[in-house]
Amino acid sequence: MPDPFCGLALHTWTVDTTPLEEALIAAKAGGFDAVELRRVDFDRCAKRGLSNEAVLDLVRAAGLPVSAMGVEYGWIFSTGAERERLLGVFRECCENAVALRCGMMMSAIGPGSATTDEAVANIRRAGEIAGSFGLRLTLEYQFQHPVVRSLDILRDLIVHASASNVGLLLDAYHLQRGGRPGRGFEDVPGAEIFYVQFSDVPDAPPPGLPPVDRLPPGQGVVDWTGLFGLLAEKGYDSWLSYEAPNPAHWQQPATETAKQGAAATRRALARTFP
């Protein structure tokens, strides 16, 4: 039977050294169905003299849906003027998401020194901002984060924020490194899972920050049949976003990196859903 997911998205960090317009071409030529954009993609284009509208036109011209729109990280544990700046950027990213018909905002935890109560309040406020645009917000924990280093901690923050349009981002890399490999998220209700990123994990200790040792499915230790199978059992039917930053990927043509990632992923899906 065909796999149950919406399709494959290429996360632009996977081809990080490639200008956005070339990354978009690579995503399509490489066999991806969508692209996941970052705030830094817009910032880099701005430094090259492109207006925000020109960047939106680039994305529209590529003809690929945007699976998620990333924001500038750090707002969750921010305070004062920096929090207001970051939430202002968050709002701008929401405006771009609407312009590109993307329904999902994405954020990792990022740095900062706010208290847990302040983080909960910030999540609630960001959820309200996203909600005012009719958008959902998905949050990602990172196994190396000094505070939000586990899925349980992130779930607790989201529960206390009481924002129905805020949910979990599950990343196969962080699940594996964080002690929840394969079917290790069986306790998580499907309704809490808003978005999925993935890459394989080498059979080696993690590097420093940021972790850029990520691999195409089948080249590492992730149990893809367990992970994809459990997602399907839980009713997840949205995008799978291939986020595989690695210097080896950046040293070859972006289209080749995209082709390798898409082909490896489809092989893993075919083994899971024969």
CATH (domain of 104): 3.20.20.150
Tell me the pLDDT band of 1, cut-offs 50, 70 and 90.
low
> Is 221 inside a domain boundary?
yes
> Is 197 inside a domain boundary?
yes
258 neighbors 62 (Cβ within 8 angstroms):
no
- At 2 the pLDDT is 76
Tell me how far apart the alpha carbons of residues 267 and 274 are, in angstroms, rounded to a whole number.
Answer: 10
Residue 143 has pLDDT above 60, yes or no: yes
Chain position carrying tokens 């083994």: 271
| Span 134-147, average pLDDT | 96
HEC string for 88-113:
HHHHHHHHHHHHCCCCEEEEECCCEC
- What's the pTM value of the predicted model, to 2 decimals? 0.97
| Span 9-26, average pLDDT | 98
pLDDT tens for 39-77 read: 999 999 999 999 999 999 999 999 999 999 999 999 999
How many CB atoms lie under 10 A from the CB of residue 248?
12
Q: Average model confidence (pLDDT) for the chain?
A: 97
Q: What share of the chain in percent tops pLDDT 90?
A: 97
Maximum CA extent, the chain: 53
- At 113 the pLDDT is 86
> Is 167 inside a domain boundary?
yes
| Amino acid symbol at 261 | G
> Is 102 inside a domain boundary?
yes
> Is 2 inside a domain boundary?
no
Residue 185 has pLDDT above 90, yes or no: yes
How many CB atoms lie under 10 A from the CB of residue 216?
23
Tell me the pLDDT band of 208, cut-offs 50, 70 and 90.
confident
> Is 185 inside a domain boundary?
yes
> Is 42 inside a domain boundary?
yes
Tell me how far apart the alpha carbons of residues 60 and 48 are, in angstroms, rounded to a whole number.
Answer: 19
> Is 1 inside a domain boundary?
no
Count of domains forming the chain: 1
Q: Give the residue numbers spanning the domain of 199.
A: 7-272
Angle, alpha carbons 173-44-41 (nearest 5°): 40
140 neighbors 178 (Cβ within 8 angstroms):
no
18 neighbors 254 (Cβ within 8 angstroms):
yes
How do strand 7-11 and strand 193-198 relate by DSSP bridges? unpaired
- At 209 the pLDDT is 87
